[in-house]
Structure 1
């Protein structure tokens, strides 16, 4: 595993956020040698139970996952895992077709933006009564996989949202790093403006908070609202969204964030091409587990800061999120063997010694601490876990509601109205009205 960890140190991997963080990655195409035509994996000629496992991701994730599969198979010689790595593009079209035809894989990597939808379709296996140990997983994280009092997925990792800052750019601008235990959104705006005024013409103080729905979710929570309700409706109104868009417009008017054309062109870029990785942004909005990949790409040590708040209380509005789930297809013929693999992915130290924080921090807090104590992590990865641990008491109390069916479109809707706002084609009020109307239509 040491060789893989060395590759980990030299490969930067970006997971872009979606309404959990939804998560995208530049992955490889499906492995045609492992494509199956039957529901689940069936049985091999040697009597082994075969389980098909599909996930999306890039080369590094694929290598790590394959190594984990080999360890599992060595410990469970009666099970043969058939890996099916894929890329985000086309992942959902293919899965929807397989579910409709009854040929879906046994085990599926699932983000929050589609989780509720597949539960509602009756496509996922109820895991409630299967042998899955969560004694070292905080209830608030484990219960992110619970809908209607039934367990439908186990967490593949855990993150929190943060600002990543470049101390070298702060030093170059002569600006002090903020006290992230007390700073407010107004102070963030002032600091981002001062940075932009002091840095070179191609650099700005911050990336925009308007492209990631998790930033909106935090803003709303700090102001008494939510992104979605437990009943599957929008948890905010036009007035809430107007305040958020007005704040973003003020940042743009002050030159604190990139211009509209730059932001429009940068949407969808991979982590290595981002403004944070290329030294164009002194601050940016990211998931905590992306610190190591961003630092590697930027070639300098970056730092995590807590998100600003409306009242100066750094704990207000903070929450941890599941980095996604491992779920099982309802039509699998081998639920007990599936559960054995899912339990292994959550609770095996060997798994996390290999994948480290690539899918987020371990949900199992004992494993999380062992990674730090055992020296398995580089400095940035260790700091990302310690950052999460520092917020854990508050962050894990109230996880957001699982996004409703149709919420997978919300991120794109938010980005579109943010761009329209920044091009001054809409006022904050008009952008808010459009966002609420279109989001309501999507989830209805």
Structure 2
């Protein structure tokens, strides 16, 4: 399943960002008829009231806004009620796994792109294709490629709520203090390393403060610059044979850490405890961080409205290593007794002005083009939200096909990368040795899980 830049931009116009989530569930019974006029879907019960259980993760702002959306839907559809169980990210998927195993999955579940394949392949997610066909679930203004991102094994199991792209966020004041110009799209990894070292030399601050030294998020982008995928099509191994690709990546981060331009393992552990809102790039302690394209909105909410975004560095001109990532999904549980009512609500959540005037893109740039157009025309978007909406257009020339969701075993792969990276940065091994260790470990994990 691939999503091309051309197909995405053709109908999406300005696309955006957001975290990665989806949903599933199981609950009471009823049937609903839906109407999608003017981008709004209303459910009517044939057998009385309907109760939909719904769960999602996020911060307090997301909890509050989503509850207002649920209340609005009940106001418009008095027979539909909700049992909401919001959560933080930590522990969310552990609880979801338990609920799934015991048959207690909520009717609507927010699902991450990393895990949607796993839940689809084990039969936990309902196929919503029939509801899209009969109009209960209106996806006519969602780009076809985005809808395909939630189609696994020929079944429509997840509706992307938003889209996202990775970005390098930078702090203009730290760059100015170091006497270096802000980077422009098309800058190289050599440029990045040089700027980071200059920032450290001139200011004593980090050039880069993010997690990319310690996880595989940015590694996917790095690998794609070589024209190969991170994972093989059958998910049973990594998608490339040249271990030097990994060696060069680890060597770059080791060089920056040794120079003090990126945090060493002890410093990184301390940074992790601060949370995104208090990360060094936001608090003027670092020039760069790696994130998703809603980062400037998060920074503004944390009190720093100066941060800017630039596409990640490239090895050479013409590299198309970026991709449009489906953000959060809503899924419906296969065990749900109210699938049609759940599908009707998701349709309304995606398409209605009422819902989106409340959410205001909190989960990222909406996946439905008419919703994006409505919010842009509303005049209510902040400067940072406008940046979030515009970033995908700015990054379009650097985008290739979107890879399939991460394979089963990805958590173990990430843990192996972190542990091996720590060993390298503590000078217990060499970049070449660490690269080979990770290559062998990742292939073993993927073969065992797929």
TM-score class, shorter:
0.7 to 0.9
Q: Which runs of 5+ in 1 are unaligned?
A: 1-16, 24-37
Q: Deviations over 1:26-46 (max 9, x none)?
A: xxxxxxxxxxxx9424479x9
Equivalent residue, structure 2, for 1:13: none
Within 5 Å, which residues of 2 pair with 1:43-442? 47-131=48-132, 132-180=137-185, 182-199=186-203, 201=204, 203-208=205-210, 209-233=212-236, 234-237=238-241, 238-267=243-272, 269-297=274-302, 299-313=304-318, 316-392=320-396, 395=399, 398-442=401-445
In structure 1, how many angstroms separate the alpha carbons of the residues matched to 2:233 and 2:141? 26
Distance in 1, matches of 2:360 and 2:51, equals 26
Structure 1 partner of 2:34: none
Alpha carbons of structure 1 residues 415 and 22: separation in structure 2 relative to 1, 3 Å? farther
Residue-by-residue CA offset, 1:342-381 (whole Å, 9 max, x unaligned): 1122222332222223212111122223212211211111
Deviation, structure 1 residue 164: 0.5
> Residues 140 and 398 of structure 1 are in contact (CA less than 8 Å); yes or no, is this contact kept in structure 2?
no
CA distance in 1, matches of 2:87, 2:341: 23
TM-score normalised by structure 2 residue count: 0.84
Which structure 2 segments of 5+ residues have no match? 1-16, 31-44
Deviations 1:275-311 (A, max 9, x none): 2222211111010012111234253411011111110
Query: In 2, Cα distance between the equivalents of 1:186 and 1:41?
Result: 58
With over 3 angstroms needed to count, the CA separation of the structure-2 counterparts of 1:412 and 1:94, relative to structure 1, is same
Counterpart Cα distance in 2 of 1:394 and 1:346: 28
Number of equivalenced pairs: 406
Matches of 1:280 and 1:55 in 2, distance apart? 32
Q: What CA distance in whole angstroms lies between the structure 1 residues aligned with 2:375 and 2:391?
A: 14
SS at match of 2:184: coil
Higher relative contact order (CA 8 A, sep 6+): 2
Deviation at 1:393, TM superposition (A): 6.9
Over aligned residue pairs, what C-alpha RMSD do you find?
Answer: 2.4
Q: Give how far 1:385 is off.
A: 0.9
CA separation in 1, counterparts of 2:28 and 2:393? 38
Alpha-carbon deviation of 1:325? Answer: 1.0
Residues 157-190 of structure 1 deviation map (CA, whole Å, 9 limit, x = unaligned) = 111000101111111111111222x211111111
Q: Can you list the C-alpha shifts for 1:213-258, whole angstroms capped at 9, x where unaligned? A: 2311111111122222332232234332222111211222333312
Aligned twin of 1:10: none
- The worse-fitting range, judged by mean Cα deviation, of 157-166 and 358-367 is 358-367
Divergent runs of 4+, >6 A: none
